[in-house]
Amino acid sequence: MSHWQTTRFRIDLDRPLVMGIINTTPDSFFDGGRYEAPESAIAHCDRLVAEGADLLDIGGESTRPGARTPSSDEELERVLPVLRHAVTLGVPVSVDTSDPRVMQAALDLGVDIVNDVRALRRPGAVECLAAHATAGVCLMHMLGEPGSMQHAPHYDDVVAEVASFLGARTRVLMAAGVQAGRITLDPGIGFGKQPPHNLSLLKRQRELLALGRPLLVGWSRKSTLGVVTGRPVAERQAASMAAALMAVQQGASIVRVHDVAATVDALKMWAAVSAAPL
Ligand code: HH2
């Protein structure tokens, strides 16, 4: 039986879980501007929990290609009111940030998980997690920075290179005193990767399980789905479901999604077939 230790919850990973996304940003690639006002982000948290989200992930920085990095104050102003509400909802809450000041403020509110697309590479980020007794952390792979990451990223073997990076970051964290049970890993779909890289990461995702940590994966509405289907971001729900199901089939423990209700139904079907007699 596998678990993820976080601030308030020891999360059971026996069945695949759905992490609902709330972006409090003006410029996220799918929901930018929709939940910029704290009241609308708060109502969206309630809605995602009612739809069956197992976890909530709240972010105040868009990491889409070319996005501007907000200041700490801007990011804090966006996420803190929403986090304050989210921690009352009875599900684990994650803060999607790379900024150690934002991490610390979120952990001070009792937030359960730090989800960092930069895998705690900013100065002070590792120390922030190491100073906490139990908070969970998701380490994600990104090649480069959002401003430049889509400028001809190159890999000789994308799966091996992502695995090597995630293994190295895990070791850094463990050397700083963070127990392995607090860590999940994410291949970072779309972060410094072209569609063939992302598709190989899904096809060969099971190889990443050799790192010995649970996998969290986010395909929701991303541009590779647009390249494959020819559809704009608003019409990528079906492709997102297919990718989420395949990620689970290839061993992902948690899928990070915008469309919680539809993903919950898809995973119920997956679980029913998994449990069916031969
Ligand atoms: N993707 C995005 C943001 N954070 N975190 C993890 N662990 N894994 C991901 O794949 C991931 C992530 C990008 O999606 P979104 O938050 O919807 O967009 P934006 O960065 O434009 O706000």
What angle is formed at CA 141 by the lines to CA 145 and CA 153, rounded to 5 degrees?
55
CB 228 within 8 A of CB 209: no
Q: Ligand 1 within 6 A of 142 CB?
A: no
Quick one: angle between helices 38-50 and 72-86, nearest 10? Answer: 40
Determine the Cα–Cα distance for residues 63 and 65; give it in Å rounded to an integer.
6
pTM of the model: 0.97
Q: Ligand 1 within 6 A of 115 CB?
A: yes
Give Cα 157 distance to the centre of its chain.
23
Ligand 1 centroid to Cα of residue 218, in Å, is 7
Which residue minimizes the CA distance to atom 15 of ligand 1?
28
pLDDT tens by residue, 103-158: 999 999 999 999 999 999 999 999 999 999 999 999 999 998 887 778 889 999 99
CB 225 within 8 A of CB 219: yes
pLDDT, mean of each 10-residue run, the chain (278 residues): 94 97 94 92 98 98 88 97 98 98 98 98 98 98 85 93 98 98 98 97 98 98 98 98 98 98 98 95
Beta bridge partners of 59: 23, 96
CB 113 within 8 A of CB 95: yes
Assign residue 116 a region (left: φ > 0; alpha: ψ between -120 and 50; beta: otherwise): beta
- The SS3 assignment for 229 reads helix
Given ligand 1 and candidates 96, 220, 257, which is best to mutate, with the most ligand atoms within 8 Å of its CB? 96
Strands 254-257 and 17-23: parallel
pLDDT tens by residue, 171-194: 999 999 999 999 999 999 999 999
